[in-house]
């Protein structure tokens, strides 16, 4: 498909939506121009009955309804015919946009389905749309996330969904934005301030996956979040981004009252290999859980590994002494 688009346009699209739009346009035009040509005695190519804008409109409706009505990526042919008409299905099949498999019909590829569905899905991201289409608006938002990069046109409506009173909708919007990627960085940063801890934690996870440096300072602030899981996820996100500005806040996080947060901070500092962390990491070698006063071996092990990775003489000497004490019991 990329080769065909390049031959036709002389350039390459920058995203899947542009690819499908260009491919559909020139395939429609080429099909129409060649429909009267006979090859090896075959009958004429079937006439396309619908103009391209109307065909696109109907295919968008079909793709959207398949998602909104819970049909998934395939639906009964008779059901689809009732929704958009036999003509649209036939034209879609002739162009190769749709495939018929027995009594069912589906789009040629899931991402192509997403291309047609995303515009009406974006319009449906409103309270009125939710009420009309589904009793589970969070699921509808998650469908957009499943489209991945093809969901980029829905970024603005998804940002609006981050302010929905339903925390499930907000959580789903964060997930969807995470799948879309780079265009979603700023709204995901804003979601770090959501009133629900699950939403804030998922936003930190999403920013970890994207790895954009714009998130460093907000994630550093999230190391002071009142929820321990959010603090731990923020530390992990900083590890993925790997920015040196995070070293000092992570050193502070080594004294966090939650052992998992201290563990995550030590893990990150191991990856950053910054000598400033040596003395705080040495203290962790005798770490005691601030919750139940039991020895937390996992935190100590990670502190030792971090010191070994930093590799200064002081760091290695501290680990050697600690291991000797462990051996002697």
Residues 193, 2: Cα–Cα separation, whole Å: 41
295: left (phi over 0), alpha (psi -120 to 50) or beta: beta
Q: Pick the residue with more confidence: 238 or 127?
A: 238
Give me the DSSP letters along 161-196.
HTT-S-HHHHHHHHHHHHHH-GGGHHHHHHHTT-SS
| Global pTM value | 0.60
Is the pLDDT at 143 greater than 80? The verdict is no
Specify the pLDDT at position 302: 78
Query: How do residues 185-229 score in pLDDT, each as one tens digit?
Result: 888 898 999 999 998 998 998 888 888 889 999 999 999 999 999
Q: Where are the domains of the chain?
A: 2-36+43-262, 263-329
Tokens coding 87:
């003509």
Specify the pLDDT at position 41: 47
Specify the pLDDT at position 107: 92
70: left (phi over 0), alpha (psi -120 to 50) or beta: left
Residue 132 banded pLDDT, cuts 50, 70, 90: very low
Query: How do residues 257-291 score in pLDDT, each as one tens digit?
Result: 887 788 778 877 877 788 888 888 888 777 654 44
Specify the pLDDT at position 136: 58
Average pLDDT of every residue of the chain: 80
Instruction: Calculate mean pLDDT across residues 113-139.
Output: 65
CATH of the domain spanning 2-36+43-262: 1.25.10.10
Neighbours of 61 (CB within 10 A): 16
Structural Rg of the chain based on CA atoms:
27
- CA-nearest of 183, 65, 50 to 120 is 65
Specify the pLDDT at position 303: 83
Is the pLDDT at 131 greater than 50? The verdict is no
Range in 8-12, 68-72, 129-133 the model is least confident about? 129-133
Residues 278, 262: Cα–Cα separation, whole Å: 14
Specify the pLDDT at position 217: 92
Provide, rounded to the nearest whole percent, the portion of the chain with pLDDT above 70.
Answer: 83
β-partners of residue 106 are 74, 99
Is the pLDDT at 135 greater than 60? The verdict is no
Range in 35-49, 65-79, 159-173, 230-244 the model is least confident about? 35-49
């Amino acid at each position: 498909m990329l080769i065909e688009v390049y031959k036709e346009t002389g350039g390459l699209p920058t995203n899947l939506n542009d690819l499908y739009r260009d491919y559909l346009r020139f395939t429609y035009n080429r099909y129409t121009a060649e429909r009267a040509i006979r090859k090896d005695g075959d009958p004429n190519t079937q006439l396309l009955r619908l103009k391209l804008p109307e065909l696109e409109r109907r295919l968008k409706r079909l793709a959207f309804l398949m998602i909104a009505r819970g049909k998934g990526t395939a639906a009964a042919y008779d059901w689809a015919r009732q929704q958009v008409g036999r003509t649209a299905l036939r034209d879609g099949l002739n162009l190769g946009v749709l495939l018929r498999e027995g009594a069912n019909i589906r789009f040629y590829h899931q991402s192509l389905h997403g291309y047609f569905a995303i515009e009406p899905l974006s319009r449906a991201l409103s309270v009125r749309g939710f009420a009309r289409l589904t009793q589970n608006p969070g699921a509808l938002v998650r469908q957009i996330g499943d489209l991945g990069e093809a969901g980029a046109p829905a970024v603005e409506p998804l940002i609006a969904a981050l302010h929905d009173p339903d925390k499930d909708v907000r959580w789903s919007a964060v997930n969807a934005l995470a799948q879309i990627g780079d265009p979603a960085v700023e709204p995901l940063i804003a979601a770090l301030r959501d009133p629900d801890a699950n939403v804030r934690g998922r936003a930190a996870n999403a920013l970890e996956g994207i790895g954009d440096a714009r998130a460093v300072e907000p994630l550093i602030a999230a190391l002071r979040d009142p929820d321990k899981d959010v603090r731990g996820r923020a530390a992990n996100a900083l590890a993925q981004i790997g920015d040196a500005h995070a070293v000092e806040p992570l050193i502070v996080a080594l004294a966090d009252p939650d052992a998992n947060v201290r563990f995550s901070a030590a893990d990150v500092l191991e990856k950053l290999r910054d000598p400033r962390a040596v003395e705080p990491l040495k203290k962790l070698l005798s770490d005691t859980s601030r919750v139940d006063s039991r020895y937390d071996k996992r935190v100590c092990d990670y502190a030792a590994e971090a010191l070994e990775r930093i590799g200064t003489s002081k760091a290695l000497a501290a680990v050697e002494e600690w291991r000797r004490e462990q051996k002697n019991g």
